[in-house]
Chain A
Amino acid sequence: MLFVSKEFVAFIAAVIAIYYICPKKFRWYVLLAASLFFYTMDDVRNLIYLAVTGVTSWGLCLILEHITSDASKSIKKIKDKEKKKEFKARVQRNKRIFMLLAVLIDLGILGFTKYADFVVSNVTALFSHRMRVTDVFVPLGISFYTFKTVSYVLDVYRGTSKAEKNFFKLVLFVTYFPQAVQGPISRWNNLSATLFEGKNAGLKPFASGLIRIFWGYFKKVVIADRLVVPVMALTHDHASYQGAYVFVAILMYAMELYCDFTGGIDITIGISECLGIKVEENFILPYFSKNIKEYWNRWHITMGSWFTDYIFYPLSVSPRMLKLSKWSRSKLGNAFGKRVTVYISCFLVWLATGVWHGAAWNFIVWGLLNFVVIMISQELEPLYKKFHGRFHLKDKAWYGAFEMLRTFFLMGMIRMLDCYRNVPVTFKSLGSMFTSWHMKVFTDGSLLEIGLDLKEYILIGICAVVLFLVSLYRYRTGRELREKISGSPDLTFACCLVLLMITIVFGAYGKGYNTSQFIYNQF
């Protein structure tokens, strides 16, 4: 079931209705049934993978917890300090074995289903005989649910979460259907706080959730799906579309991806709000970022924080890294030496992020480019600071806007890697913006040949203005506009109705258009 399908709309309506008809105690069973149904509708084989991931992490986490509680009892009996330390280390080693087992099983499945073909074909290519491992079944949203599960295992291992005894509750956490296709990658502590309670949402949050669902559909169906056509045209036939066209493609893809991804998340969180369930935000005005680090704090937040918490931090503060840090500081000087280990960790994190996005070179290069930009901006920071201080730029609004535009285009250019899906082509196309820019593309009607007519451009333009104004409201006030609207039932109704009508009339669906798969579906 695609989010943008009549079936899914009917499905959510039914789930919300049944959810509220049921007594509170049983509501999470409704969600469990709905989630399993959702995966089954996609492919029955999903259930096998989910079962393996679910059972192993459930069981191993219970063992982890058992070891911990056992140890805390026995340690009280040990009086000798040295022995205490030794005992602790032994317990830690035991725990690590079970943790690693769980994590390796989860990541192993992910690795096999998504990366087997990539690895085999690239390795065999080295020996000049390329082989392919095709026909591997990729479970729905495996990257997302695997990451959710791994974070649960690690949190139990670290002692920040308690292991869940009820197997089915854990299964619901892993499969919670609104998150199945594209996240957010929730943490156990956050999601479990409201997932099983079955509390009533309350009128205002329900209204806000409803608006958010409609808003999400508007972004996906009216804007993103309409932009699919020109973006495909521009990037497929990249040889014909160079120079100024690449600039257009960057703008369009930035808008398409934003609307598709945040629209999907709006639907996910909107449904959750209607069910009285709190889900982490995944985007907070990403295109208002003034630098790339800020961008990654605002875009796909749950993914970024996952990598920070479970890879970047443990890696950078591991004994080995700390040792390396000491060495590098002594060799390379305090200031730069201090940063060396950070950069090494950062490099590895972005490599992993790239790989997570997809088994292809373009994603790996994409991840590394992010690393390079972050490193350069980090190195240049003192220089920037001096520059800003000298001209008092930090308090000037136009300079802030300039920084946002700069970040927007920089990220837009890097992002084209996952649009062209080919590294040399991407660099060549980006380069052509500087070598063969033709202004006449904008005036001679060429842009009407790429799958949008004038009326559609006007429509997209109006939508862009609306999106910007709504975002600006949030930026200025720190509150979402819908929070204000949802206070009044009449306004909520009016808002939903207008969004519904706009989506129905101006949506890019029906004949001539394929309901485009979520761009993030395969991740």
Chain B
Amino acid sequence: MPLAAFIAVSAALFFIGVAGVLVRRNAVVILMSVELMLNATNLAFVAFSRRLGVAGERGSVFVVFIFVVAAAEVAVGLAIILAAYRNRPTVDVDQLDEMKG
């Protein structure tokens, strides 16, 4: 399989994620879309690592880091959403505009 195919899938997943973040209003769905973007990145890392890796596919190591960061991000993100929901019973991000300047 050519590298381009992996990158194409990765790019597609990434922009689906971007579209999800931009279009959807439900905070939980936005968080899921972010996960999609992160995993698109992981795919790109693994693909490049396999093709270009010289000394033992070092690029794959970043994938492990991204898993950890993604887990932390989800934990914090869900906690924020929960706190916001308790404050005002909605998960619609367009209605959460207290920080308006």
Tell whether A pairs with B: no
Query: What residues of chain A have their CB less than 8 Å away from a CB belonging to chain B?
Result: none
